[in-house]
Amino acid sequence: MSETCIDAVSESESSLSGRDFHMAPILNISIGHWVGFFAFVLGALALDLGLFHRKSREVRAREALIWTLIWAGCAFFFGTVVAPRTIPGWDPSTSALFLTGYLVELCLSMDNVFVIAIIFSYFGVPQRWQHRVLFWGILGALVLRGGMIWLGSELIQRVHWTLYVFGGFLLITGAKMLLLQEEDASPDLSKNPVVKWVRHCLPVSPDFDEERFTTRSKGRWMITPLAVVLVVVETTDVVFALDSIPAIFGITREPFLVFTSNIFAILGLRSLYFVLASAMGYFRHLKKGLALVLVFIGAKMLAEEPLLKLLGDRLKYVSLAVVMSLIVLSILASVFSNHQDRKGGKGSST
């Protein structure tokens, strides 16, 4: 009798600690939830391209800011209103995990914006065609990131020590970003292996053909430079996903939370690009803030078991507070530095 009780207690403790250690809330996610979310995403993209951006045009900063706020509002509304009312087991701590994951993914995608701006500038893509490239790039990112999230989830469930590999990887990546000099951060696209491979293996037309990805020239079909840009943007997103996906697994292991927070961040990437592309130099310390976020998440993954014993369920809220604080402080530091530069410039001119 006593042995049975001991076994039952140990099994209960093991189950509880397993749940806490994986930081995965017990959610009753059905196929209907997945179908509903995919329907929302596809419907939103169809409205975007079919109604709001049927014709190629320049996206103004004010319009882009409004859309950025709309997408952020959709993510917040989903995480705090829709999901708690439609998904059994979704409680306020789950909302905190979702919002932390969304914030991390959104902030990491700001670094992606900087690289995309360099790609567009290198290939000389007119501003009125950039939204089309970003739209189809996001469709590809939905598929690629979905596959990477599924693979990461399977790895973690089958080989638990993968978490420590992810944590160590994020620590190293964050440290490298902190030590990287600004002049070393810009990629040299003339040496990009993807660009070389595409131009070597596929016929590429010398000029753009409006917003088309293919064109007919000299009696044969060719891809346009805009298609090359799309391929480079897609491969760049895969590279950035190698940082962002392990980072969100450091917050939660629930696949639905990982996927939805990731996708909401990607959906807001297009409008965020047009808001930030011309002002990335203004946020000079943001990259350092993102690096510290990666270091924090990596360290938390490596030390999660003792942290959970110390903080319990409060760790979710502590993580959200730390991530928000690092991002806000890096933005405030950027604003202060720019203010000091302008003040110094005015002083020297007088």
All residues at 6 or more sequence positions from 342 whose CB lies less than 8 Å from its CB, including other chains = none
Residue 25 lies in a domain: no
The per-residue pLDDT for range 226-273, each reduced to its tens digit, is 888 888 888 877 777 777 777 778 788 888 998 999 889 888 887 877
Give pLDDT, residue 20: 39
Give pLDDT, residue 308: 74
Residue 6 lies in a domain: no
Determine contact, residues 228/206, Cβ cutoff 8 Å. Answer: no
Q: Please, what is the Cα angle at 327 between 325 and 330, to 5 degrees? A: 105
Give pLDDT, residue 124: 83
Distance (Å, whole) CA 286 – CA 335: 10
Residue 22 lies in a domain: no
Residue 260 lies in a domain: yes
Residue 181 lies in a domain: yes
Residue 131 lies in a domain: yes
User: Which of 234, 342, 334 shows the shortest CA–CA distance to 286?
Assistant: 334
The per-residue pLDDT for range 192-231, each reduced to its tens digit, is 787 788 888 888 888 888 778 888 877 788 888 888 888 8
The per-residue pLDDT for range 112-170, each reduced to its tens digit, is 777 777 788 788 888 778 878 888 888 888 888 888 888 887 887 787 777 778 778 88
Estimate the crossing angle of helix 255-267 against helix 31-47, to 10 degrees. Answer: 0
- Residue with the larger pLDDT of the pair 51 and 90: 90
Residue 240 lies in a domain: yes
Domain ranges, residue 255:
33-337
- pTM of structure: 0.72
Q: Please, what is the Cα angle at 70 between 68 and 71, to 5 degrees? A: 65
At residue 22, does pLDDT exceed 50?
no
- Look over the chain and give the mean of its residue pLDDT values, rounded to a whole number: 77
At residue 18, does pLDDT exceed 60?
no
Determine contact, residues 105/261, Cβ cutoff 8 Å. Answer: yes
Average pLDDT, stretch 10-32? Answer: 54
Give pLDDT, residue 12: 37
Residue 19 lies in a domain: no
Q: How many domains does the chain have?
A: 1
At residue 26, does pLDDT exceed 60?
yes
At residue 30, does pLDDT exceed 80?
yes
